[in-house]
Amino acid sequence: MNKYAKEQAAIIAQAAISAGYRAFIAESGHYGFYTDAKGSRIVSFQCDGFHDSISGNYKTSNPAKTGTGWRISDDFSKDNLVAYFEQFPPRWATGDATWEYTTLDQHQDTYQASSKYSEVTA
């Protein structure tokens, strides 16, 4: 992945930490997520220089129909990180399915082996 993507991911992780969150970056360096101290939910970010995005994550009773997340924005402003964390998935994404936010433990159980996330410290 290009240098810009890794630098951008590091900037987002540091902004999340300064906003009071815990931040994690994948071994590849261009994507990660942040969570609160409890790990109650995660917000993912991906940087590739062309289609940077920040996304909410959820689990549903029918992920094949609803997916597992939604794109919130492509604006990584530090001022918006709290607002992104407080977002609810849109109705078009979840439909009538029962949903819950993806927790830190759930995300790690699913993706840690392939992404090899490391927690970023200030």
Local confidence band at 22 (pLDDT 50, 70, 90 cut-offs): very high
Task: Inform me whether the pLDDT recorded for 60 exceeds 80.
Answer: yes
Buried b or exposed e, range 6-28, using 16+ CB within 10 angstroms = bebbbebbebbbeeebbbbbbee
Nearest to 55 by CA among 25, 10, 89: 89
Task: Inform me whether the pLDDT recorded for 1 exceeds 60.
Answer: no
Mean pLDDT of 46-71: 88
Q: What is the pLDDT of residues 62-93, one digit of tens each?
A: 888 888 999 999 877 777 899 999 999 999 88
| Encoded amino acid at 23, one letter | A
Domain residue limits, the chain:
3-120
Which burial class, exposed, middle or buried, applies to 53 when counting CB atoms under 10 A from its CB (0-12, 13-18, 19+)? middle
Q: What is the pLDDT of residues 93-111, one digit of tens each?
A: 888 888 999 999 999 999 9
Task: State whether residue 91 is helix, strand or coil.
Answer: helix
DSSP 103: P
Give the per-residue SS3 of 16-54: HHHCCCEEEECCCCCEEEEECCCCCCEEEEECCCCCCEE
